[in-house]
Amino acid sequence: MNFLRKLTKIILTKQILGTAIVICVAFILVAIINSAISKVLVTGKNSFEVKKRKSIIKLFQSIIKYIIWMIGILIILDFYGVDTQSLIASIGIAGVVLGLALQDTVKDFISGISLILENYLQVGDVVTYNDFTGEVIELGLRTTKIKSFDGQVLVVANRNIDTIINASQKKANLLLNIPTSYEEKVPKVEKVLTSVINDAINEKLIFEDSKYLGVNELGAHSVEYLINIHCDQNKRYEVRRAMLKKVLLAYEKNNIKIPYNQIEVHHGQDL
């Protein structure tokens, strides 16, 4: 019984009980505030606005989390008799020293804030960093994470954000060469390709300024017809596959031939 009393007395001390309460309250506050921010800012007028708001949400959530935990740590230290006022003053001085020593980290934080406020980069954007192309999956105060289309994740320091090429704030421009047999009449092929493009526009698969451009090349085995497709940058690969499928089905329906390589084999006695 004496042991239980001593244990209970230790647990109920300001240091132990107070620390536990502060940690629980900090977790609860972070969760509540993060949820409230998400509900207030998550909606937008369009997809671009929604992506922008999601990025701002992540930024605010990171800042609030750091502030709450810093306050919580100061309160806990006060329980143990630490002079927090002097500590705050010391932290201010140390912050200046660390700011000089950790200039790259400070640049990362500043760049992380500015890139979001200036709408340069948003979660969901398709970007290229050096030779790495992928989708932005996370924006933090120090780093930006980019996921390639084959699943690789690249972490880029925010201070290098000015070297990232953002392709999502403009539409994709796809040029598709459609090989067609020389036997096919040009007006017939042009009519079919124009019909395919118009159908895709009506289905909202591609943008209205997509069009058939004309005969692009007279090849050794085929005529190359060129079409210009404009679409959402994030869907350019999906749209390319869909358009090629539409062309193939239209060619089959209209008995238009797509040439392929053929090999003629001759026996020596026949030459």
The amino acid that residue 84 corresponds to is T
pLDDT number for residue 45: 46
Say how far apart CA 117 and CA 97 lie, in whole Å: 28
Low-confidence residues in the chain, pLDDT < 70: 1-15, 37-56, 59, 83-84, 87-119, 141, 168-170, 261-271
* DSSP-based three-state secondary structure for 216: strand
pLDDT number for residue 123: 76
Q: What are phi and psi of 133, to 5 degrees?
A: -120, 135
Domains of the chain: 2-84 (no CATH), 126-166 (2.30.30.60), 172-253 (3.30.70.100)
132-139 and 164-166: which strand pairing?
A: unpaired
Sort residue 34 into left (φ over 0), alpha (ψ -120 to 50) or beta. Answer: alpha
pLDDT digits (tens, 9 = 90+) for 119-146: 677 777 788 888 888 888 877 767 888 8
pLDDT number for residue 53: 62
pLDDT number for residue 115: 65
pLDDT digits (tens, 9 = 90+) for 222-232: 899 999 988 88
